[in-house]
Copies of this chain bind each other. A is one copy, B any other.
Amino acid sequence: MTHTETATVITPEALLEHWQGHRRLTRKTIEAFPEDKLFTHSIGGMRPFAAMITEFLDMAVPGLTGVVTGKWQRAEDMPHYAKKGLSATKQELLQQWDEATKEIDRLWQQIPPERFMQTDKAFGRWEGTIYFFILYWIDNEIHHRGQAYVYLRSLGIEPPAFWERS
């Protein structure tokens, strides 16, 4: 076994860039949807993509706030979020997305370096390590965005290239 606890697999900066790269791809995926289909299109009884996007937003900034402060609040209990309610148009959804992008960048800089390997109880419910929560939020976005690719294909629309993150 050659690995040690101190081997650097990825730096905090690189993980932030990795996430924001995925979020740029998700933004393109939102843009690719026709306005109505974003809120209505479904296969096999699954949620429309807009509902999945709302889930991503409910995890990202509220989650990172918990990472930084150790206090976990659900999105609907956060004053800033609660007053906005659910986005009703594609433009509103994109605007919420862009606000979250800036807020993620801002909060990320406040994560103490030792925090990533600490354990906590995310949103007061899930026991785990901070890096796992962050990867979970990223993975959950990749997972559901992949489903949105099928929605787009079923509508005859070509999704953005998966490897393109700029």
Contact = CB atoms under 8 A, between A and B. Distances in A.
Contacts of A1: 109
Given A18-B132, A142-B139, A153-B43, A9 B9 contact: yes
B44 A156 contact: yes
Most chain B beta-carbon neighbours within 10 Å: one of A3, A129, A144, A153 = A3
Contact of A9 (B11, B22, B153): B11
A73 B10 CA distance: 25
A10 B7 CA distance: 9
The number of chain A residues touching the other chain, given as a range, is: 35 or more
A8 interface: yes
A7 B10 CA distance: 9
A79 interface: no
A166 interface: no
A13 interface: yes
A85 interface: no
A136 B18 CA distance: 10
Contacts of A22: 139
A78 interface: no
Contacts of A114: 7
Given A142-B146, A146-B144, A149-B147, A2 B44 contact: no
Given A7-B116, A9-B10, 6 more contacts: A2-B112, A3-B111, A7-B114, A8-B8, A9-B117, A45-B153
Interface of A: 1-15, 18, 22, 43-46, 109-114, 116-117, 129, 131-132, 135-136, 139-140, 142-147, 149-156, 162-163
